[in-house]
Chain A
Amino acid sequence: KAGVTQTPRYLIKTRGQQVTLSCSPISGHRSVSWYQQTPGQGLQFLFEYFSETQRNKGNFPGRFSGRQFSNSRSEMNVSTLELGDSALYLCASSFPSRRRNTGELFFGEGSRLTVL
Chain B
Amino acid sequence: DAKTTQPTSMDCAEGRAANLPCNHSTISGNEYVYWYRQIHSQGPQYIIHGLKNNETNEMASLIITEDRKSSTLILPHATLRDTAVYYCIVRVQGFKTIFGAGTRLFVKA
Query: Chain A: residues with CB nearer than 8 A to chain B?
Result: 4, 33, 35, 42-43, 45, 48, 55-56, 58, 88, 90, 92, 96, 98, 101-110
Contact = CB atoms under 8 A, between A and B. Distances in A.
B80 to A, nearest CB: 21
A103 B94 contact: yes
Nearest to B92: A103
Interface stretch (B19-27, B61-69, B70-78, B95-103): B95-103
Interface string B80-109: 000000010001011111111110000000
A92 B43 contact: yes
Give the residue among A42, A48, A58, A101 with the most B Cβ atoms within 10 A.
A42
A110 B43 CA distance: 6
Contacts of B93: 96, 98, 101, 103
Interface residues of B, number: 22
A104 B96 contact: no
B103 to A, nearest CB: 12
A45 B98 contact: yes
Contact of B99 (A35, A48, A96, A110): A35
B15 to A, nearest CB: 28
Nearest to B43: A107
Interface of B: 32, 34, 36, 41-46, 49, 87, 91, 93-102
Nearest to A56: B96
7 contacts: A42-B99, A56-B96, A103-B91, A103-B93, A106-B46, A107-B45, A108-B43
Contacts of B43: 4, 90, 92, 107-110
A105 B49 contact: no
A88 B41 CA distance: 9
B88 to A, nearest CB: 13
A40 to B, nearest CB: 11
A8 B97 CA distance: 24
A104 B94 contact: no
B62 to A, nearest CB: 13
B44 A58 contact: no
B99 A104 contact: no
